Structure 1
């Protein structure tokens, strides 16, 4: 078996005809550009594209199969040329009678036939099937049952994010309030939480943790990702890794240090001040635009010591994307990729001495310090990302 890298939350910005899918997604974020960028720049072996319910996206995938650029694998997934495997998925918004605010979930399927069956069913329960992250007018449990009927995976998305997530709004206390827990395959942590934080909730013990980019532009691919031990990249192998079957497993989660997430701290979005604890009205400016941070929300939900529980899980490596590093611009990044083959190779394989042959020593040192978790960080919150403090 071998090590592979996967990012399973990537949006489509535009279709091949230029129609918007994810309104806030970059125009350059097309199916072909995602596959090319993931394979040739990022070095990702698997990508989960979560807008494949859109009929024009399905048609585009079919055309790529006809052209010989994609091949459907017997084990599930669509292989791009001889490399990266695309897992077709969908992000769906639930707001049924059990919700007290919208909740996003991810559904993944083995092949295009299953995806099209889901799309047809979904289109009868949504206002606009051509767009991303649409609200389904159906109970969450019914959605779960349909995904399972089609052989799919069901994964609550960015579960602690203040907006449109399972725990983010501060009203839901348990997954069982909305979902059938036995029909959940994993949970996605989001950019402002890590394994130690999420492990404070004992009810999550039953589920693998995923760390994905939620990319709205090409450079954001693989800002979070999984290291997987598989026989080869495919849907079936990914399912085995999530279940820990036949030696397949998640080796490590590579995610942003939660300080870099844009919702880690409780912050007034109007004046930007950080609050020690959530208040309905900001004590500094009087605004009601106070966003409770993920760290505070997890403290509210905690029923044990998360650090102790986290030792039973794959390691969570605090990953700082190369684009976050001060002074490392696009041209420098292109030089590194040209020398080492991909961002994954730069981050995981290139020795300090090799890096120093390509870029100034101070940049090579920043990459080394990022690997070792030795960079100073400014915490994010209120919709503003944290950042690396470069002395």
Structure 2
């Protein structure tokens, strides 16, 4: 059994012909560029690309298979060099049970099954060629279809203020919208971690994922996990999410929640941090606010404990894998693009630099200060200031 680095939420910005897929995604974010970046630059073992339902993307993957650049794995997934691609789709659900739109992820083992799912979506979406489109179907029916096709169903970035399960989707519980028995894992998002999420007892039953939600090549693997599997395939991933046969999440690696851009409540206009019970912003007088993940979780925790706590079966929180507060290399102060390129030239992939290169070797290439910050990032010991309202937090140099 080995440990594999896995990021299961990467967008496609453009097709090979230049057609947009994720409008806000970088133009360089094509499927071939993603595979190259993930394998040779980042050093990932498995990635989930969540726009594979797009017909032109499916055709591109078929061509890559015909050209023998990509191989279909026996256990599910597509193999390119050192990385396995898990075929995924991000979908917006806004049915009559939702208070606001939510995003969910669906993953499938083969290209043929993804094609079938794409055809099913096309009958329920206005534009199948774009990412994260709204499906005119209930969340539960979507779950059942994913399961019928042998797929994985995962609510995405569940605490972010916009278009997420707990951010806007539900009043109190995920059971208002989804069938918990048909959920394979829960994606936390950039402004939360295991400790924060486990304040909600109804989440104790689910495996937690930390993914990048990358909209550019450089953001791939800003959050990820190490997963214990025999091989990096869909079938092994499915076992790991279910904690079966000794397959499991070994560790989550993610930003300190304070670095997330929606961690604390802020004024929607000037981004001033707001404390409890402010009726308007003390800095600019604006009455609108963006509720932070921290505050929303406390709110949900109190309501759930009051209304349903006795109904939810607890698991031992100590069974969770560690959540290690790590930052991407490009977050580290004074570590610019040229220095990062120099590190890659000497040590290979970013995963190798972040996890394995000894301090004395790092100091041969970068200053002692930068080497020390890389080591602190490895251990989750960097000091940060909190973000909020759409503005990321920052690393503090002490």
TM-score band w.r.t. shorter chain = over 0.9
CA contact 2:162–2:168 (8 Å) conserved in 1:
yes
CA contact 2:7–2:220 (8 Å) conserved in 1:
yes
Alignment partners' CA distance in 1, 2:251 and 2:53? 29
In the alignment, does 2:281 pair up with 1:282?
Answer: yes
In the alignment, does 2:319 pair up with 1:321?
Answer: no
- Counting only pairs closer than 5 Å after superposition, residues 305-320 of structure 1 correspond to structure 2 as 310-320=317-327
> After superposition, what is the alpha-carbon deviation per residue over 1:328-368, rounded to whole angstroms, capped at 9, x for unaligned?
11111111112111110001101100100111111111111
Alignment partners' CA distance in 2, 1:278 and 1:232? 51
Deviates more, 1:324-333 or 1:209-218: 324-333
Give the match for residue 312 of structure 2: none
The CA deviation at 1:22 is: 0.2
In the alignment, does 2:61 pair up with 1:61?
Answer: yes
> After superposition, what is the alpha-carbon deviation per residue over 1:48-72, rounded to whole angstroms, capped at 9, x for unaligned?
0000010000000000001111001
Number of aligned residues: 388
CA contact 1:267–1:291 (8 Å) conserved in 2:
yes
- SS of 2:354's partner is helix
**TM norm structure 1:** 0.97
- Unaligned residue ranges in structure 2 (runs of 5+): 310-314
Alignment partners' CA distance in 2, 1:365 and 1:40? 25
Give the match for residue 335 of structure 1: 342
CA contact 2:24–2:215 (8 Å) conserved in 1:
yes
Give the match for residue 195 of structure 2: 196
Alignment partners' CA distance in 2, 1:279 and 1:311? 37
Give the match for residue 125 of structure 1: 124
Deviates more, 1:366-375 or 1:184-193: 366-375
> After superposition, what is the alpha-carbon deviation per residue over 1:111-144, rounded to whole angstroms, capped at 9, x for unaligned?
1001000000000101100000000011111111
The CA deviation at 1:314 is: 0.6
Alignment partners' CA distance in 1, 2:105 and 2:277? 29
Alignment partners' CA distance in 2, 1:381 and 1:208? 26
The CA deviation at 1:245 is: 1.2
**TM norm structure 2:** 0.95
The CA deviation at 1:171 is: 4.7
RMSD: 1.5
In the alignment, does 2:368 pair up with 1:369?
Answer: no
The CA deviation at 1:282 is: 2.7
- SS of 1:345's partner is helix
> After superposition, what is the alpha-carbon deviation per residue over 1:165-217, rounded to whole angstroms, capped at 9, x for unaligned?
00012852111000111001000000000000000001011110000000000
Alignment partners' CA distance in 2, 1:43 and 1:132? 25
Alignment partners' CA distance in 1, 2:26 and 2:121? 25
- SS of 2:168's partner is coil
CA contact 1:75–1:236 (8 Å) conserved in 2:
yes
- SS of 2:61's partner is helix
CA contact 2:102–2:169 (8 Å) conserved in 1:
no
CA contact 2:214–2:220 (8 Å) conserved in 1:
yes
Alignment partners' CA distance in 1, 2:261 and 2:316? 25
The CA deviation at 1:310 is: 3.5
Alignment partners' CA distance in 1, 2:382 and 2:182? 40
> After superposition, what is the alpha-carbon deviation per residue over 1:21-74, rounded to whole angstroms, capped at 9, x for unaligned?
000000000000000000001000000000001000000000000111100111
The CA deviation at 1:278 is: 6.2
CA contact 1:160–1:168 (8 Å) conserved in 2:
yes
- Deviating beyond 6 angstroms after TM superposition, the runs of 4 or more aligned structure 1 residues are none
The CA deviation at 1:284 is: 3.1
The CA deviation at 1:280 is: 5.9
